[in-house]
Amino acid sequence: MPYTILDSNSILEYVQHYPDAKKFLDVTRPLESAELSDGNLNAVFRVYEQDNPGKSILLKQGLPYLRVAGESWPLGPERAGFEARALAHEYKFAPTLVPQPYWFDETMNINAMEDLRHYQVMRKPMMAGVRYENLGVMIGEFLASTLFGSSDFGMEAKEKKQLAKHFANGELCEITEDLILTEPFEHKLLAHKQNRNHFNLLIVRDLEKLQSDDDVKRNVAYLKYRFMTGAQALLHGDLHTGSIMASAPDENGQVDIRVIDPEFAFFGPMGFDVGLFMNAAAQHGHAEDYESRSSYRSYLYKQARDAWTTFEQGFREKLKNPNSISWTHQDFQDDFMLSLLRDTAGYAGCEMIRRTVGFAHVADLESIGDKRVRAQAEKMALKVGSTLIKKHSRVSSYDDLEKIVKGVIAV
């Protein structure tokens, strides 16, 4: 069958005939499907046995355009291949932290995987104040395992170069390069490019100030260049709370998590993944009344800190057995971990700003109905973000980073 876009009917026929499907479902029994698509990019289906709905699989099909934008924004469906290869890597190094991959059908651009029925994408519960007490720790473990496992410390150089060949993810990297690392910081682009920013008109003056700050521009250009040339490890590439699913918290707020949707995967600077998660945590500090917000913010600060601390400890632990004597020197390891923290601070700042004034906002901020109330939160995001960007290369420790953030918020 050549590539065709499937719907909730044709996906059943597809599953019934796909050779590997019988390993995961009894395809001789009646099957049903439900369309779950809610991300920006793909069609997503659950297929399950009619009289045993607990037996199910999840299928994601890459579409030849951006799902939310429609055919006016074409995008190669082959990005499903990037997701498949990235998920295979993540599953190898962090098998309990991602869905189990079942198969990848290159012709149909379909990834079939474990259906996380009892898991929920984190964004909305977190907007409602749900706490996942071990979120930061789990993400720290995910980052340490997947990033070390694809770095030059954990992988033979020749093997890494072969793997990297399969992650020339130009289209999705371009989205990041443009929407996160260019447009939010520029009032005007070069002639043939269009600026897709949109923002609350009540923060126009703050945005103008940001976009005329040479120190911001210098640092963002550096961070963008590093994103494009710093091939440190295979990144997830889109690690916000919309890409993390959690089981229902137990009485202590402990959960299992699964990181999903690695279709932005490519070899890039590790701090980008860490920074995106840091900002995702930060963003959930807005959408509540003041009393509970203050306490929820403490919870979020803790998750961000846990993520960094767990990541750093895990990475340093693995660095005790690197694949070359070159990486064994203590000074080098210390310098390296500090460079990751600095990148983390910088990319967190960029992400914070683009979620406020760029093309793709997130519900955490957008859900604040009162434009004036929202403007307060947005102004704060611009301020924290630009401070992180400007100071990122001089951050000396995680405490220092947190102090910078709290210092801006306290003003």
Residues that bind a copy of itself (CB under 8 A): 152, 157-159, 161-162, 164-165, 168-171, 173-174, 177, 181-182, 186, 188-190, 193, 214-215, 217-218, 220-222, 224-225, 228-232, 323-327, 329, 331-332, 335-336
Q: 22 or 332: whose CB is closer to a copy of itself? A: 332
Alpha helices in 26-167, H assignment, sequence order? 79-93, 123-127, 135-149, 157-165
In this structure, the strands spanning 101-105 and 70-74 are unpaired
CA quadruple 227, 235, 383, 365: dihedral, nearest 10: 130
Give CB contacts under 8 A, 24+ apart, made by 311-314: 311/139, 311/140, 311/141, 311/143, 311/144, 311/274, 312/140, 312/337, 312/340, 312/341, 312/398, 313/140, 313/144, 314/140, 314/141, 314/143, 314/144, 314/145, 314/148
Judge residue 298's burial from the number of C-beta atoms within 10 Å of its C-beta, 0-12 exposed, 13-18 middle, 19 or more buried.
exposed
Q: 49 or 152: whose CB is closer to a copy of itself? A: 152
Instruction: Count CB atoms within 10 A of the CB of residue 8.
Output: 16
Q: 181 or 352: whose CB is closer to a copy of itself? A: 181
Instruction: Count CB atoms within 10 A of the CB of residue 342.
Output: 20
In the complex, minimum distance from the CB of residue 326 to a copy of itself, in angstroms, rounded to a whole number: 5
In the complex, minimum distance from the CB of residue 47 to a copy of itself, in angstroms, rounded to a whole number: 34
Q: How far apart are CA 229 and CA 336, in angstroms?
A: 17
Q: 152 or 402: whose CB is closer to a copy of itself? A: 152
In the complex, minimum distance from the CB of residue 193 to a copy of itself, in angstroms, rounded to a whole number: 8
Q: 321 or 367: whose CB is closer to a copy of itself? A: 321
In the complex, minimum distance from the CB of residue 15 to a copy of itself, in angstroms, rounded to a whole number: 33
Classify 9 as helix, strand or coil. coil
In the complex, minimum distance from the CB of residue 161 to a copy of itself, in angstroms, rounded to a whole number: 4
Is the Cβ–Cβ distance between 243 and 116 less than 8 Å? Answer: no
In the complex, minimum distance from the CB of residue 60 to a copy of itself, in angstroms, rounded to a whole number: 23
Q: 252 or 330: whose CB is closer to a copy of itself? A: 330
Q: 98 or 389: whose CB is closer to a copy of itself? A: 389
In the complex, minimum distance from the CB of residue 411 to a copy of itself, in angstroms, rounded to a whole number: 26
